[in-house]
Structure 1
C-alpha cells in the first residue's frame, strides 16, 4: 500500500469517471482516508479498445500528479510493462474549486479477460509548484515516498474482442427499405480494391482483410467508383474510427463528393468521385476501421435520404468496411507501392523527370516526405527544378483509377 507523509486532507480524489464508473467520494477534511476500497464498483472493458478517463480532486498548495494502474495480467501487482498510465497533473485548488483532468487508456489485446484490479493514485508534487516541467512524482502503485494524496481501487471486467463483423459497429439493422446500389472500386493509399457489380451484393460488405497503410499527419487521395443509375445526387463519404471507440463520430467523416457518370459500366450507369483523407496527428495507432458509404441523397416524396455511417430508413446504396493500419508521423516504407511496368527517369534527378510505360495517365501529384502536396499535373514530363534537394513521393493515377506511387530523389 502507498505511504503518504501528510495524508489525504485537502488532497483527496473527489471523482473518477471511466467507462460506466462515475464515482464521487468525500472531500471533507478531517476524515479523509488514505485508501478507499471501491472494488465493488466496476465497468466492462474490451481488449483493443480505448476508453476515456477523468479524475477530479483538490490540491491544497502544490499541483498533484495522477497515475492509473491496471493489473492486465492479473498477477497481483502493477509493476509489469504497460500497466501504468500517467493521466496528468491537477493544479492547486480547494475542494470547492477542484480541477478535472482527462486522458485515455487503451486496453491491450493480450490483457487477461475477467475481473481485474484498477488503482487510481494521486500525489502532490512539490517541485511542480515552481517548475511546470517537473517529472511525475509517482514511481509505483505502492510508492513509499509520497507527500499527500489518496488511493482508490476499482474493478474492471475485461472481455476479449472476438465479436464478428460488423460488430461492434452498426450494421443494416435500422434499414426499413433497401435498394443495393453497389460500389465497384475503392482506391486509397496506393491500394485498389474491386468488388462485384452484379446486383446481388450485400448492403454491407466485409473487406476488413484489405489493409491500407497510412501515417499520422499525412494526406491521402481516395477514389470511389460505383453505380449511380443515372442520378446526380449519389454521394460518397469515408468514416474512420480514429479514437477506436467503436463509433463513427462527427469529426471522423470525410465528404468525398458526388459521383459523376464519367466511367460507365455496360448496362448500368456508373460514376466516380475523388477526395482526400487527412490522418490526424492524434489518431490512435494500429488497425482502425474505415467505412466507405455510397448513398443516394434526396429530399422528396420518398422522405429525406442521406449518407450516414449507419444506414437507416430507406437506403439506396452500399457500404464497404476496410482496415487502416495507422502508423507514426514519419513516412512508412510500406506506403510506397512499386509498379515495374512504368519507368521514372532519371531518378535521382537534378530537375526534369519523364514518365514512361503508363497506360492512360489521368494525373500525377508530388508530395514531400511529410505528406504535403507540392505539385500536380497530367503531363509525362515533370519539372522539379524549383524543389530543394531531398526525397519526394510521386503519386500517379491512371484513367482506369489505378494508383501508383514512386519515390523520387532530387539531387
Structure 2
C-alpha cells in the first residue's frame, strides 16, 4: 500500500473515436467549377475529380488518413478552380474528438484561391500546427472551399466561411479526411478529469482486469501510481452486446472495496450518469500474501445507441465508507481522501453487425455480389427478397444504405467495405466488397 498525502493534478489526453455524426455544410449553387481538386497534407496527397456536372458538394475521403504528432507543424496545400469569384479555403480538425469543429483552435484559414477554370486552377499553401494537448487517436479533418463575391472587387474582404457547418455558402465543396494523433502521453489523462481534486490518498492497487476477451495484468507491489495510463490496451466490443468483466486487486482486509467501470459512450470527454457500471465489492477469494487481494465479477452491456469508435474506459477500485474519515465513495473523478486506484483503458465500440462471429457465421441467404472487386457499382444476387442493405467502412462508419439490388459505390474511396444484407424474413448476412 502506497501512502501519499499530496498529489499534483494530472493534465490529460483523450482517444476517439472517430466515429461521430458530423454536420454537412450547404451551398446555394453547388460545386461545379468550384470544387477542390487536390489536398496535400503530411502523407495525404489526394486528387479528386473536377468534372463539371458530377461534382458533389461533399466528398467523404475519411478512408484516407495520416499520422500527426502533437506540437508539430505540417505544410498543407489546397488546389481548386474558382470560376468567377475568388474562393476562401478553411481547414477544420476536431482535436478534442467531440463530434464538432466549434472549439477554439480547431479552424485554420489556409488562404484565398484566385479565379480560374479547372484546367488552370491555382494552389494555395499554409502551415497547420497540431496543439500540444490534442487528444490521441483518429479524428475528422474537413477542408472547406467557398467562393467569395465580395473579394472580386475587394481583396481585403472578410472570409466568407463562418463555420464548418455553414449553411449559407455560395459555391464550393467540402472534403473530409481522417487524421491520427499519435504519441501524446505527456498530457494524460486530459481532456478527462484526473486526480487534481484529491487532497490525500492511499494507493491500493488493481492487479488484473479481464474484459471482452482481453486480460491486462499490472503490478501489485505497493509502488504504483494512483492513476495509470493503459490507454494503449484496447477492448473491442459491439453495440448491444453484454460482456463479463473480472477485477482483481488489493482490499487490505476491507469488505467495502468497490469496483466501478466508467465508459464515455457518447464521446463527450466526461463520464455521465448513464455511463456508470457497478461491478460490486471485491471479496478475498484470491488472496495474495500481505495484500489481501480480492476479486469481483460483473457485466457491462454496450448500449445500442453508443457512439462508434475509440473512447475512454476508466476502472476505479475504491474503499467506500461513512466514518470519522468522512464519506469515501467510488467516483469517476476521485476527490478528497481517496483509497484505491484508477486505470484508464480504451474501448473500441463497433456496430452490432461487425462482430467477428457475425461477419463469418451466416451464409444461409446465399448472397452473391458481382462484380467484386468493382469500380463503380455492383449487383446483389440472392434467393430471398431483400429488405435493406447497409454498407460500412472498416472503421465501422455507415457509408450507405438502401433497398435496391443495384448499388452504386462510385463516390467511395478505394478500399474494403462490409455490406450487411437483411432479408424480408429477417435473415442477416455480412459480406466484403472491394472498391477499386
Q: What's the TM-score once normalised by structure 1's chain length?
A: 0.48
